[in-house]
Amino acid sequence: MDVKHYYNPNGQEILDEGIFGGSPTGFVDFNRSKYKWDSNIYDLMNANTWFPSEVNTSTEKRNFEKLSDNEQAIYKLTFAQLSFNDSAQEEYLCDFRRLANNRLVKSVLSLQIMQEVNHSKSYSVLLDACGNSEEVFNLYKHDDALNRKNQQISEQFARHIEGGSVDKMLLSAMASVNLEGIYFLLGFSYIYLLGDKVPGARDMIKFIARDELNTHLPLFSNIFKTIRKENKILTSTIDSAYSMIEDAVKIELEYGNYLLKQYPIMGVTPQLMERTVHNYANDRLKKIGLDPIFKTTDTTYLQKLVTKHLNMNEVKSNFFESNVSNYAKSSIDLDDF
């Protein structure tokens, strides 16, 4: 069995530590970062730490019971799927962290792991307040479409996580780009469409979405670009990355169309969903330095809805009932390294 070395005085200098391969000395030094983006993302993550107890969920059960049957179904199936996303991401991050060589990048991943656990806790708090926690967390046992999407996401995560080569590590990072950048977004927009009808759910999703889109997606976008920049990546591997995001788009639209067919809601159409997901996918490809491959259209209403709620410090709270922390504004370029 290989022995784990926690300290290697003959290891790489901190400024020479790449993301893939090598042998670090063992120090985490935030004053000497090989990249600019890692410590910046860490600082923004840390500044924006929040906890589910800070969101007022005292009226969630009463508000949920006022929703129509279709709205209640969308609410439950959305949170059933989102809660799996964060649970799977937390476990995946633990495995991906083992593949990484650069100690500062590993530290940022550690903080993201904590935030994913916090997201899982938030779903439990929200659904417990709503009174349907056990039902929602067990929906995968009864809904074939939900179970199929969860399985497909899980398989994409598992496909390259064993590592062993820089190309596998790159594709493993791609799986996280898909999760943070594709699989959450329709779910976020559904809850925002419900809006003031379920303020507890809306405000909890605001915090979660800001974590995912303001720091988690930029983190893995930069990991992808950096691995590609530092190593000779096979053309076939880049082709595989394109195939992975095409699969992600299909998975997301399949589940979205299922929900829409079963539970029509608030003017959402298959065409609107397709345009939205294609626009998101093109944006994610640009963020990782690849060319867009989907038909680009004008920004959709669902995209604008998600962007609107990314505006900082909009979460409303009752001063006497909750203490929603302000969400720090970013003044750094997270896509620069």
- In tens digits, the chain (337 residues) has pLDDT values of 566 778 888 888 888 889 998 888 888 999 888 998 999 999 999 999 999 999 999 999 999 999 999 999 999 999 999 999 999 999 999 999 999 999 999 999 999 999 999 999 999 999 999 999 999 999 999 999 999 999 999 999 999 999 899 999 999 999 999 999 999 999 999 999 998 999 999 999 999 999 999 999 999 999 999 999 999 999 999 999 999 999 999 999 999 999 999 998 778 899 999 999 999 999 999 999 999 999 989 999 999 999 998 875 554 444 334 444 555 544 444 555 4
Q: Which domain holds residue 204?
A: 59-308
Question: Which CATH number belongs to the domain containing residue 283 in this structure?
Answer: 1.10.620.20
Question: Does an H or E element contain 74, and which?
Answer: helix 69-99
- Whether 254 is in a domain gets the answer yes
Q: 3-state SS string over 221-249?
A: HHHHHHHHHHCCCCHHHHHHHHHHHHHHH
Q: How far apart are CA 140 and CA 137, in angstroms?
A: 7
- Whether 183 is in a domain gets the answer yes
- Whether 40 is in a domain gets the answer no
- Whether 102 is in a domain gets the answer yes
| Count: domains in the chain | 1
Q: How far apart are CA 211 and CA 34, in angstroms?
A: 24
336, 220 contact by CB (below 8 A): no
Catalytic residues: 123
Residues 6+ positions from 267 with CB-CB distance below 8 Å: none
Q: How far apart are CA 12 and CA 262, in angstroms?
A: 56
- Whether 208 is in a domain gets the answer yes
The whole-model pTM stands at 0.92
Residues 6+ positions from 83 with CB-CB distance below 8 Å: 120, 123, 136, 137
Q: From 51, 239, 83, select the one nearest 149 (Cα to Cα).
A: 83
- Whether 239 is in a domain gets the answer yes
Reported residue count of the chain is: 337
- Whether 35 is in a domain gets the answer no
SS3 175: helix
pLDDT score, position 2:
63
- Whether 276 is in a domain gets the answer yes
Q: How far apart are CA 220 and CA 108, in angstroms?
A: 11
| Farthest-apart Cα atoms in the chain, separation | 65
User: Which pair of tokens denotes residue 93?
Assistant: 């991050």
259, 291 contact by CB (below 8 A): no
- The structure tokens 């993550």 sit at 45
